[in-house]
Every structure is written in structure tokens, then in C-alpha cells.
Structure 1
Amino acid sequence: MEKNSQRMLDLINKRFSDILSEGFKLFLRYYKTLILPLAIFQILVITFNIFLLTDLKVYLDSLGISFLDILDKLGENTPLTGGDWNLFSLFFLLNFALIFLQNLIGAIIITIAMCSVSNYLYNKQMQIDISFFSSFKSAFNKKIFIVILILGIFLPLGSFLLMFPSIIIFAFFIFVVFTYNIEGAGKPLSEARNIAKGAFWKISGVFIFNFIFIFVASSIYNTVLNLFLNTDSAIFSLNYNLWLSTRNYPMLILYQILINLIEIILAPLFICLLTSLFVTLKARKDLGLKYQRTRDPIHTRLIEELPRIYCPYCGVLIPSVKKFCPRCGENLSFMLNKEGEE
């Protein structure tokens, strides 16, 4: 029990830099396990975008205008005709629809991807032995539809209408990818909100750090790629437009995989960083401690004063001693007898 208490103490005292460091360790330790399923989900995003939205992209190209053309037209002294305004309105409407549908497809599939590995990473971080296959299979239950609704639909809808609602949804409910599949979490949304309470900047920091890291890596990769393939050349653009017009889906998919290769390779990074943060914040919440910005460590005496009981086998917090552990199922009768003697 002392060992488990010390581990909980170490978790709640982690600084943000420690959380990021632990997230990278998770990323490296379980990369071989995570890369295949998460890469497949990333490729699914590309595939669905191409099969569902290529016709819309071709129609937009057939309009024969661009944002620069519209700006040039507006800058001219000649008044715009009714046909010009109709064309501009159609162009803007279809572009917004295209962006929204791309975000919607990506958000739904990436949400499912995070759910598929979140429970595995959480248990591994808590030093609980679990097989990836059983964890992956258990992720696909009826509660996953709640996660898809919140993060896969409401999040892109909020970002399309106004940016602020999407920020609130992300900061308040991002941890639902974990809580929906954790035993004992009766209300996944409330549990996710309680764990995230007071940690807005840490959650935002994890997202921003992941974005910057992948952006820098992608920029370097695309620069090197352009040196070898000259992807910005007119000939390459003509080939790409030809693939679009002829609906050459295999070449379009291969091209997008090549362009987004870094995002595919680094797909497990965000969920690993998020797992590290989630475990720390959940430990604080379970111990009844409010989030503190101070760097001063929380003393061991706080742990000793709290009337908390942990399973000696898996370390899970038990509100009251029962005959069997609610998580690992081990017999705890000896703890009942000991409590009765005291």
C-alpha cells in the first residue's frame, strides 16, 4: 500500500514538463503496438476524403475562379454584376462546405482511433497488465457513440460556426475518450469534466505542443520532398489535376499518403501525451485535491491523512473494502478481517 501511495504522490506532483516527458516515453515504449492501427485510421481519413469529396473539388475547379480572382474583381472600379455575386456566393458556400466535411470526416475517424487505444495506454501507464487485442475490442461498445457525438460531430460543428464553442468542448470533454471505457465511471461526461476542471492551460498546452512538433517535422519533410519530387512544379500540378478529373483514386490516395506521411508516422504522439496528462489529473481528482499551479510538492502526510484504501494487487482506489477487487477480481477477504479486528 505504501508503494501505491508513493506512486500516487509522484503522479500528482508532476510538472507540465514531466507530463510531456512521460508522454514521449509512452510514445517510444508502445510505438510498435500503436502505429499499425493508428496509421490505418489516418489512411482511412485520406481515403474517405478522396472518395466522398473528389466530385465536390472537381466542381469547384470547374467554376474557374479562386480567392485571388475574387479579390482582384473587388479591387476593380467596375461594378459587379448579379451573375458575379451569384458565382462568388456559390464559390464561398461550396468551399465552406468542403472544409466542414473534411473536418467532420477527420474528427469522427480520429476520435474512434483515440478511443481504440486509450484504455490500453491508460492501463499500461497505471502498470496494469492488459492485452492490446482485448483492450482494442472492448473500446467498441455502445458508449463510444457518446464520444463520437461530442468530439466527432459537435467539435467540428463548433469550429465551423465559431471557434470558441469548439475550444470549450475540447477543453471540457477531451478526456471522455478515456472515461467512457473505464470501469466505475458511471457518467463518462461528468467524470471527464471533473478530471479536466482547472486544467485548461495544460490541456491546451498538450494540444499546442503536439501541433507545433508535427508542424515543424512536416515542414522539414515537405521541404526535402519538394527537392526530390518538385511537388510545386507546374507539371506536377497538371498531373494532380488530371488525377482529379479522371477520378484516379489510387494515385490520389498515394499522393495524399506521401504528403501526409509525417502525420501518419507521428499519429500515436497526441494520445500518448494526453494519456500522461489524464493519469496525473485523474490521480489528483481521485485524491480529492484541487488543481494547483504551484510547483511546491504535496507532502506525503496528505496521502497518509486521507482515508483511502487501495487494492494491494492492482493499486486501484477502493471507496470501501469489499470481498473482491472491482477491477482485478482478487480476493480481499483478509482486508475485511483485518478491518473487523481493528
Structure 2
Amino acid sequence: MAQSRKDDHIRLAAAQQEQLDGANNAFDDIDFIHHALAGIDADDVDTSTRVGPWTFDSPIYINGMTGGTDTALPINTALAKAAAATGVPMASGSVGVALDDPETAPSFTVIREHNPDGIVWANLGAGRTLDHAKAAVDLLAADGLQLHVNPIQETVMPEGSRNFSSWLSLIEDIVAGLNVPVIVKEVGFGLSAKTVAQLHDIGVEIVDVAGSGGTNFARIENDRTPHPSSVIDAHAKFDWLEAMGLTAVDCLLDLAQSTQDVTVLASGGVRNPLDVVRAQALGASAVGLAGVMLRVAMSDGVDGAIEVLNLWKTRIRQIYALLGARTGHGLTATDVMVTGDSAQRARARNIDVTRFADRVRI
């Protein structure tokens, strides 16, 4: 059943990416105020960023997506080879299926096999134990562990868990007992500042807000449910939960006024290099790519994934230069207007978005 679900996730996530082509999302509510004489030379730009013990040469990473099936094997192979060729960090999909069924492990271990020297993160659900976390890290010889929290997805998933009360204590055990850094992330519904504060209190130092706007796992789980054959059946679906959650922009604006000393990563609906820089301007140290890389790996394989990653790295550097930001830290001093739904949602949470429009240059 788990392997069938993983294949459904790949198929439905790829279909969603086609539907999202050209669509607006919350990142379009973030506009850099153009200062025509602010630019610098691209050669003077340093796009490297520090995340925990790691230094990325560019502020992007391949986020956790898939594994556990024959369909996932060539996808993870292509992504791992591309990560190795470009130096971009990569996370696996959830390793839980391989812990339960070791025969599915090759679609995960292929990541380290083809990327022996790169930064690799294993991925596991938050309901797992410290022993599971250690096994996941060992399986991939991973440098870190992504722990994903996905209560909305679990609620909608027909075979999902609805027991969430132990998650925080299990995360605390893993953070305290694991010998590699732990990154806690959502799966597309966002982490609020209150949630990040809870995580910080139990020792979490890195979070990925993973907001809405990209792959929607509530919709995927609803699409996995048979089409209703009666009016009563229609009430069994969770269509009305598909719009729940926070965008990455919502989360970053919330966290911008937080005093928690946490490294913030962002993902969810990232479509192009400008979205990466927008997220960094709002405080993200690095930005995760999922749907866009899934699609290119499936359509153009290793060579396409390498070309796209290198192109993104170049374009990010050029946008830094255009904005006059020598470093990622310098982006947090660029002037941005927050408009549209993101501004309205921020005002509803008593967040003053006007302060982002006139910031002191570093």
C-alpha cells in the first residue's frame, strides 16, 4: 500500500506542476522597489550561505520529494547526479517506507551512491522514534535529517494517522539524541512563528517553513480517494481542507518579527530564481526546490536537471547584482513592497508590512 501511495504522489504531484504553469502565487506579492543606480558587478557578488554546519555556494537545495518505488528510482538517480555535478544539497523523500520494507531501500540509497561527497539529508515523518531517525540517517549516510510535520496531509490521507499529540516530544528526543543536525519542515502548509517558537524551545535550530502555493498534498490525497458515487460519498472527501495553511510569504513575514534564533529555510511554490531572492529578502537563508526539479528530472533527466540548477545559480547571482546585494545578508536590506493577499493577510495578523519598503542598506 505504501509503495502504491508513493507512486500516486509522484503522478499527482507532476500533474499539479503542469496545472501551476504560469499561475500566480504569494511570491508575486513581493515586489522589489527598483533603484536604477543600486546595481553592482556580478563578479563582486557572493551567493554562498551558511545553514547550520554547512556552507552552500548558492542559496538553493533540492527538497525532499520521493523514494520507495521503481518509479522513484530513476528520479532520485537523476537528481542525485545533478546535485553532485552542481554542488547543490539534496534531501530524500520520506525514508519511512524503506524502514518498514527494506526491499524499497535502493531508491533512497542511490542518492548517496551517486553523490558521495555532497550534502545529503534523509527525510522522515515526525511521528517516528529516535531509533527510526538513526536508521534513516544510517541508510543514506546522511549529513542531516529533515523531519516533516504534515498533520493536514495525514488528516486527509485515507490511511493517515490522526494521533498528533506525541509529535513534539518525539521531535525533542530526536533532536537531543541524533548526532547530525535536524531540520523540521512542513510539507506545503507552512510553519507559523508560534510553531517555530515551540520547536526552538525543544532545541531545533533549523526550520523549513514549506508553505502553500506549490504541491498541495491535501489535494493529492483527495485525488487518491475514489470519485464519489453518491451525495453521501461526496461528504467523505476533504476538499475543503485544500486551501488551509500558510504560504511561505505568510511564514516569512511572521518570522521577520520573531526574536527566535533559528535558521529559516523557505520552500513551497518556488517557480524561478526571482522567487528565491524574494524569499531571501524576507529572511530565508536558503530556498528549497521540489516541484520544478521533479518535473525536469522526469522530462529531461540528469542533463536537464544539471542545466536547470546551473542556470538558476547564474540567474540568482545576476539578480543579486541588479539589486546591489553583495551577499544574501545584503538582500535583507533591499526595499520591497508587500501587496495583494499577502499584505492583507499580514495586516490581519497585526504585521506592519510597510517597514519592508524603506530599509537601511548594509
Could you tell me the TM-score, scaled by structure 1's length?
Answer: 0.26
- Which protein has greater RCO, CA pairs closer than 8 Å, 6+ apart? 1
Q: Where is the helix percentage greater, Structure 1 or Structure 2?
A: 1
Q: Where is the strand percentage greater, Structure 1 or Structure 2?
A: 2
Select the structure of larger CA radius of gyration.
Answer: 1
